[in-house]
Structure 1
Amino acid sequence: MAGRLWFCGILCLLTACSSGTFDTEESLLAYIREEENGYMHHKKVKGVDFSLLYKPTDLLVNQELYDKTDSRTVDSLRKKYGKYMYFILSMSKNDQELLNNVAGDRGRFGGMVNELAFGMDRKVHLYTPEKDTLPMADFIYPRMYGMSRSTDIMLVYPRKEKYLNDDYINIIVEDLGFYTGEVKFKVLTENINNEPSLKFGS
């Protein structure tokens, strides 16, 4: 009997993992941060560390839920946030924010602040393999004033089926003044179309 229960427990665990549903935000974050799962991408070019993380819809939903986990509220928030795709672009040099590396040059510092705060929609591009461009809907750059070890920007794109029918999309970051040239990330659309979710409620 104990052996049967053990087998059933293992089977349930495997089924939960394969369905991509997680009990906690922490376990979902741990999963998507593992590069082998296809949601996190890293590159290092000319001393600049780049990472691109796809942020599943339910992480946005969870931020707004508070204690209300009834199905009606969850469905409403999933509909609201599910219209878009969210990526976190992180960049650092010498284990510091990009701005820390140009702080001694006032002109360059001011130009980069302006670019990060107002111009990232012109510096980051999403393309299909056929070179169709999906315009960015929004981006969010929170100034950390040297309190973070990286410059983090949330990129928001419309979730349009036409752009997710190909096997992958390309996200390209133009040179931000560190002589990196264009940095390209290849993101498999299968991972976005089958993104992991959170289990809400009891």
Structure 2
Amino acid sequence: MNKAEIYQILKATLIIIVVLIIQSCSTKTFDTSEELMSYIQQPEHGYLHTKIVNGVNFSVLYKPTDLLVDQELTDQEEVSTVDSLREQYGKYLYFTLSMSKNNQELLSNVAGNKQQFGAMVNELAFGMEQKVHLYTPQKDTIAMADYIYPRMYGISGATTMLFVYPREQNIKNEEYLNITIEDLGFYTGEVKFKIPTDMINNEPKLKFK
């Protein structure tokens, strides 16, 4: 094999590698929110992270912007509103935190203790800003913008809430972000998740028609 042939083989191999890299970094798009939700709920894609600590199941799910946009749209609205909604919701990061023990909400596990139950209701409704933290590898804290805790009154198998953080510009340059959940009274200690930022920077989208 002469040098010219070796050069052609190396050139073809390089082209294949570049194509594969581009494909792996390209943004995935889905026709429906159900397809998108199914995709992000598969742990291998990097959007869902789970842990079990002292019998408590924790899961953190990053919700792409287009899922929030889709919830806002109605059948009567024009597709022209998509861009403005993407701009509005795209200013923030959205994480769903679910916690359960014995396949029940956290409150269901302390229902027999009136004092503990009341304290946990207050903490879940008003105190999670002091319990859940998002920060960079350099320990720079990203201040929580808001969180939503819908009371399910025992009909759900988990305590689930949505946390909202500003999408600060410097986040794009980080390799990952940390989310920590302080002990909520179940002797778990601090539970920590490492969230890679590449899946946030290249989050999947919906094909709005």
Q: Match of 2:108?
A: 100
Normalised by the size of structure 2, how large is the TM-score?
0.86
Residue 163 of structure 1, aligned match among 151, 167, 171? 171
Q: For residue 89 of structure 1, what is the amino acid of its counterpart?
A: L
CA–CA distance in 2 between the matches of 1:151 and 1:40? 16
Q: Which secondary structure state, in structure 1, belongs to the residue aligned with residue 116 of structure 2?
A: helix
Q: Percent identity?
A: 66
TM-score, normalization by structure 1: 0.89
- The offset of 1:19, in angstroms, is 3.2
Tell whether 2:56 aligns with 1:48: yes
Matches for 1:44-193 after TM superposition, within 5 Å: 44-68=52-76, 70-193=78-201
C-alpha separation in 2, matches of 1:109 and 1:51: 22
Equivalent residues, number: 186
**How far apart are residue 66 of structure 1 and its match?**
1.0
User: Matches of 1:131 and 1:28 in 2, distance apart?
Assistant: 32
Q: Which ranges of 4 or more aligned residues in structure 1 deviate by more than 4 Å?
A: none
Q: Secondary structure at the match of 2:80?
A: helix
| RMSD of aligned residue pairs (Cα, Å) | 1.3
The gaps in structure 1 that reach 5 residues or longer are 1-14
8 A Cα contact 2:27 2:203, kept in partner: no
Q: Is the 8 A contact 1:44 1:50 kept in 2?
A: yes
**Greater mean deviation of Cα atoms: 103-112 or 64-73:** 64-73
**TM superposition shift of 1:69:** 5.7
